[in-house]
């Protein structure tokens, strides 16, 4: 009897912990999921049409906070996992209320995602085929991997690393930093029109970039390296003010 009680107790405890560090809701009718955070967030795919937020390192809630609700400049925690989740039109707005603490967010593969990090930490986005918009407005790093959709990414002080497994020819890719480096890997056979430019940094690539002004490619600035790879195609622009740029083949 003692054994059964202790097993039941363990189950109950696990369930309680689980319920406190795990949140999910349906994504029906949602076109864009917009995530705002001040710390590290990792965004991964799963095969359900819902968002699931899992705390990665749930710090113990202070004893004194029991029975109280977490509030922050991003709103109140309405998920029990430190996030504020609301809908606005066809957007799902997901705000990290805690100022620290990492989280993993699971979304369907084809989801359009917009992530803004306004403080620091690393934003990881892996495996998506929808459009990805990633902004790091202060000190955060952006690590985007195994993507196949359009990407726009901007980082102020940290670097951006992007790895594409396929390039969607319908929508341009635009990646920029002010002070960090840009490190982009494309499949070897990617056809694209490429613009590479860094005001104070150097540019490296192992692609055979053909620069031909005659082909109707127009440069906005004299500093741009403007060319085509594998016959030309969708526009891919990598630009930095002070950072180094690396464009490599897979």
Partner 1 sequence: MKHVTDSLTDYLDGLLNQEESAAIASHLKECSTCKQALAQLKELFGAFEQEDVLAPSKRVREHFLEALKSEQTTKVATTLENNINVLPKKSGVRILLKIAAGIALLFGAFMLGRNQNERQANQSLATQEYKMLEMQQTAMISLMGNQSPSKRIQGVNLITKFKNPDEEIINALVNRLFLDKNMNVRLTAVEALSMFAKSETVKLAFIKALATEKDPSIQIAIIQNLVRIQAQNAAEPMKYLLEQEDTQPFVKEEINRVLGEII
**What CA–CA distance (Å, rounded) separates 6 from 166?**
51
178 makes contact with partner 1 (CB under 8 A): yes
Figure out which of the listed residues 14, 19, 86, 221 binds partner 1, where binding follows CB under 8 A: 221
Residues 18-47 that bind partner 1 (CB under 8 A): 31-32
Residues 84-143 that bind partner 1 (CB under 8 A): 112, 114, 131, 133, 135
CB closer to partner 1, 5 vs 170: 170
CB of 236 to partner 1, least distance (A): 11
Which H/E stretch holds residue 2?
helix 2-21
> Shortest gap between Cβ of 14 and partner 1 (angstroms)?
41
Give kind and range of the element (H or E) at residue 83: strand 83-88
171 binds partner 1 per the rule CB under 8 A: yes
Residue closest to 137 by CA, chosen among 41, 40, 38, 43: 38
Contacts 24+ apart (CB under 8 A), 130-139: 131/171, 134/160, 136/160
Q: Which two tokens stand for residue 133?
A: 């918009």
CB of 156 to partner 1, least distance (A): 8
How far is residue 209's CA from residue 206's CA, in Å, rounded to a whole number?
9
Q: Distance (Å, rounded) from C-alpha 241 to C-alpha 222? A: 14
Q: Is 115:135 a contact under the CB 8 Å cutoff?
A: yes
Q: Does 220 bind partner 1 (CB under 8 A)?
A: yes
| Candidate residues 103, 142, 147, 173; the one interacting with partner 1 per rule CB under 8 A | 173
Binding site for partner 1 (CB under 8 A): 31-32, 112, 114, 131, 133, 135, 150-154, 156, 169-176, 178, 199-200, 215-216, 218, 220-221, 231-232, 235, 237, 239, 241-242
């Amino acid at each position: 009897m003692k054994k059964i009680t202790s097993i039941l107790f363990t189950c109950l405890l696990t369930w309680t912990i689980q319920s406190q560090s795990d949140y999910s809701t349906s994504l029906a009718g949602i076109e864009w999921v917009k995530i705002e955070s001040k710390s590290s967030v990792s965004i991964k795919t799963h095969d359900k049409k819902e968002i699931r937020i899992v705390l990665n390192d749930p710090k113990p809630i202070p004893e004194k906070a029991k029975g109280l609700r977490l509030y922050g400049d991003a709103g109140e925690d309405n998920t029990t996992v430190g996030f504020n989740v609301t809908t606005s039109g066809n957007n799902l707005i997901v705000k990290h209320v805690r100022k620290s603490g990492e989280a993993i967010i699971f979304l369907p593969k084809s989801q359009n995602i917009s992530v803004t990090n306004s403080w620091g930490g690393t934003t990881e986005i892996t495996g998506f085929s929808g459009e990805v918009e990633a902004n790091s407005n202060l000190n955060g790093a952006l690590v985007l991997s195994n993507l196949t959709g359009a990407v726009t990414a901007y980082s102020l002080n940290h670097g951006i690393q992007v790895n594409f497994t396929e390039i969607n020819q319908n929508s341009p890719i635009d990646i920029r930093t002010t002070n960090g480096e840009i490190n982009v890997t494309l499949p070897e056979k990617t056809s694209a029109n490429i613009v590479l430019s860094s005001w104070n940094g150097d540019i490296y690539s192992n692609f055979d970039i053909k620069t031909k002004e005659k082909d109707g490619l127009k440069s906005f600035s004299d500093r741009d390296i403007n060319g085509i790879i594998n016959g030309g195609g969708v526009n891919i622009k990598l630009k930095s003010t002070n950072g180094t740029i690396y464009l490599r083949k897979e």
